[in-house]
Amino acid sequence: MQWDIVIGLEIHVQLATRTKIFSGSSTAYGAEPNTQANAVDLAMPGTLPVPNEQAFRYAVMFGLAVNAEIERRSVFERKNYFYPDLPKGYQTTQLERPIVGPGYVDIDLANGETKRVRIHHAHLEEDAGKSLHEDFHGMTGIDLNRAGTPLIEVVTEPDMTNADEAVAFAKKLHGIVTSLGICDGDMSQGSMRFDVNISLKPKGSETLGTRTETKNLNSFRFMEQAIAHEVERQMDILEDGGTIVQETRLYNGDRDESRSMRTKEEANDYRYFPCPDLLPVEIDDAFIDEARNSLPELPDARKARFMDQYGLNDYDAGLLAGDSKLAAFFEAAAERGKDAKLASNWVQGEFSARLNAEEKSVAQSPITGAQLGDLVVRIADNTISSAGAKKVFEALWSGENDNVDAIIDAKGLKQVSDTGELEKMVDEVLASMPDQVAQYQQESDPKKQKKMLGGFMGPLMKASKGQGNPKLFNEILVRKLGG
């Protein structure tokens, strides 16, 4: 049987405010346990929450960036449940009147088409603390530094139909919130966490199937794997004539396994009600206008500018513009290097590969965009070959030296581009390889001839001690052999 996959996402975005949503405690990451958990965060009796204005500004900026309506009067509710990392016994969140109403985001698909994913709403809420399940004499350790960190939870409509679309949406959202500067986007620290709702229905059917929710995915890769895993699990059950149980599941990315966390029957009855400690928050036009005026360039606009200003194609522009830090790095390299296409190739090639291999973010890169730009200049003006450029990149990355020209000198990577000198070498090599020359000249297929040129390059590079300009060698070879 053929199935349609239906996917909706809930995304928790940690806001990059200095302080918590309802208290003046710092939100800085990595502090000693509980040193940033104070009276309000610990739910001490007699304390009252006071909302952080910046959290509202960030939520409004987000709403404007996703083409959503801003709720002028938003209300906080209590979601009641017991868990030790939630000292109040309820999470302060929004239900009936969330700050951000319906909106949408357009994503680029692999086939070059654009797809609109609708956002149902986004609301402000507080994060919980962390439970450490290592053994403390049979007890659990609780760190409440994270408790009260402001979040926006973004809820989409079930508009995605496969893992690629869901990941494309997640990446787009990541690009938007990091460009806005409202979230640091560091997924390894839990700054963005994804819950995926998945259901299957017979192909073409109008009726939605029963869905499951897979919670707390903290990387794009795990999200992709978790979707593939859950789709397969549901398909197996349905094709065996079984039924899907509405439940919350946990996915273990390291083992590619999932297990049920709770089913609908056991689902919590959260008993939401308006929080009596907080009055409704009113936002006026001036506040919204101010947020609108502070919006920076967003990924879609940046992509269009990259195509226009640097002559990049749709794919390259989309990839580089999607992440604000990568975009800034590329721009620095392109401005300095004066060759945007070459800069784009190096940023997406060698540079991104190294970041991935070492699991580093752009911000943690040991080299700057300007340094890569200097390298691009020397590749573009033929001072070094691409093989030489890789050696320079290596030296920059390892911190051996931070100056491109100094590295080229120190390592003797400068190419010989003096045509007179190169011609002499070509003459000598051709004279020493009469059989291959004859073979080449008897060959009528230009494709095969092109391949045969490679046979001369080795000896030529050897003769020039690796410093001959391969492009020029090639040109001279073709001319001399052809004539």
Partner 1 sequence: MTISRKDIEKVAVLARIRVDDQQVSALEKDLGNILDLVDQLSAADTDSVEPMAHPLNAVQRLRPDEVTESNQREAFQAIAPATENGLYLVPRVIE
By CB under 8 A, tell whether 267 contacts partner 1. no
The residue among 140 and 441 lying less far from partner 1, judged by its C-beta, is 140
3, 26, 101, 481: residue in contact with partner 1 (rule CB under 8 A): 26
Interacting residue with partner 1 among 109, 208, 228, 279 (CB under 8 A) = 279
80/219 with CB nearer partner 1: 80
Interaction between residue 461 and partner 1 (CB under 8 A)? no
8-state DSSP, 81: -
Cα separation, 105 vs 305, whole angstroms: 19
Asked if residue 35 binds partner 1 (CB under 8 A), the reply is yes
Hey, CA dihedral for 169, 175, 179, 180, is it positive or negative? positive
Task: Please tell me whether residue 52 binds partner 1 under the rule CB under 8 A.
Answer: yes
Part of the chain binding partner 1 (CB under 8 A), chosen from 78-86, 107-115, 312-320, 327-335: 78-86
143 sits near partner 1 (criterion: CB under 8 A) = yes
Q: Pick between residue 113 and residue 269 the one whose CB is nearest to partner 1.
A: 269
DSSP tag of 57: H
DSSP 22: S
- Residues numbered 90 to 129 that lie near partner 1 (CB under 8 A) are 97
What is the token pair recorded at 162? 């496969």
Among 282, 285, 290, 427, binds partner 1 (CB under 8 A): 282
Q: Tell me whether residue 37 or residue 192 sits nearer to partner 1 (CB atom).
A: 37
- Size, binding site for partner 1 by CB under 8 A: 54
What is the separation of C-alpha 250 from the centre of its chain, rounded to a whole number of angstroms? Answer: 22
Q: Is 218 in the site for partner 1 (CB under 8 A)?
A: no
Strand-pairing partners, residue 115, are 107
Following CA atoms 331, 333, 334, 336 in sequence, which dihedral angle do they give, to the nearest 10 degrees? Answer: 120
Pick 81 or 315: Cβ nearer partner 1 = 81
The DSSP symbol for 246 reads P
Choice from 3, 6, 42, 272 touching partner 1 (CB under 8 A) = 42
CA 81, CA 350: separation in Å to the nearest integer? 49
401 near partner 1 (CB under 8 A): no
Selected binder of partner 1 within 11, 281, 317, 377 (CB under 8 A): 281
Contacts of 129 (CB under 8 A, 6+ apart): 37, 85, 86, 87, 142, 143, 144, 145, 146, 147
Closest separation in Å from C-beta 133 to partner 1: 8
Tell me if 343 sits within 8 A of 382, measured CB to CB.
Answer: no
Q: Map residue 16 onto helix, strand or coil.
A: coil
Distances (CA, A) of 250 to 222, 258, 273: 12, 5, 28
Q: Cβ(168)–Cβ(48) under 8 Å?
A: no
- The minimum distance between CB 69 and partner 1, in angstroms, equals 19
Q: What is the DSSP string of 332-383?
A: HHHHHHS-HHHHHHHIIIIIHHHHHHTT--GGG-SS-HHHHHHHHHHHHTTS
Q: Are 12 and 149 contacting, i.e. CB atoms less than 8 angstroms apart?
A: no
DSSP letter assigned to residue 27: -
Q: The tokens of 67 are what?
A: 């083409």
Instruction: Indicate whether 61 belongs to the interface with partner 1 (CB under 8 A).
Output: no
Should residue 216 be labelled a site residue for partner 1 when binding is judged by CB under 8 A? no
Q: Is 202 in the site for partner 1 (CB under 8 A)?
A: no
Cβ atoms of 66 and 176 within 8 Å: the answer is yes
Other Cβ atoms closer than 10 A to 258: 18
Which residue, among 230, 141, 149, 229, has the nearest Cα to 189 in the 3D structure?
A: 149
Q: Name the one residue in this structure whose structure tokens are 């009252």.
A: 48
Residue 19 is a binding residue for partner 1 (CB under 8 A): yes
**Using rule CB under 8 A, residue 180 touches partner 1:** no
Beta carbon of residue 410, minimum distance to partner 1 (angstroms, whole number): 48
Q: Name the residue nearer to partner 1 (CB basis): 133 or 447.
A: 133
Q: Does 43 bind partner 1 (CB under 8 A)?
A: no
Tokens of 112: 């070059």
Of the candidate residues 18, 116, 221, 448, the single one contacting partner 1 (CB under 8 A): 18
Nearer Cβ to partner 1 (91/365): 91
Quick note: the x/- pattern for partner 1 over 123-142, rule CB under 8 A, is --------xxx--xxxxxxx
Cβ 85 to partner 1 shortest distance, Å: 9
Judged by CB under 8 A, does residue 253 bind partner 1? no
Residue 6 or residue 31: which is nearer to partner 1 going by CB? 31
Pattern 331-370, partner 1, x by CB under 8 A: ----------------------------------------
**Which residue, 26 or 449, is less far from partner 1 as judged by CB?**
26
Which residues are within 8 A (CB) of 271 and not within 5 positions of it... i.e. 6 or more apart?
80
Residues at the contact surface with partner 1, assessed by CB under 8 A: 17-19, 23-26, 32-39, 42, 44, 50-56, 73, 75, 80, 82-84, 97, 131-133, 136-144, 250, 261, 269, 271, 274, 276, 278-282
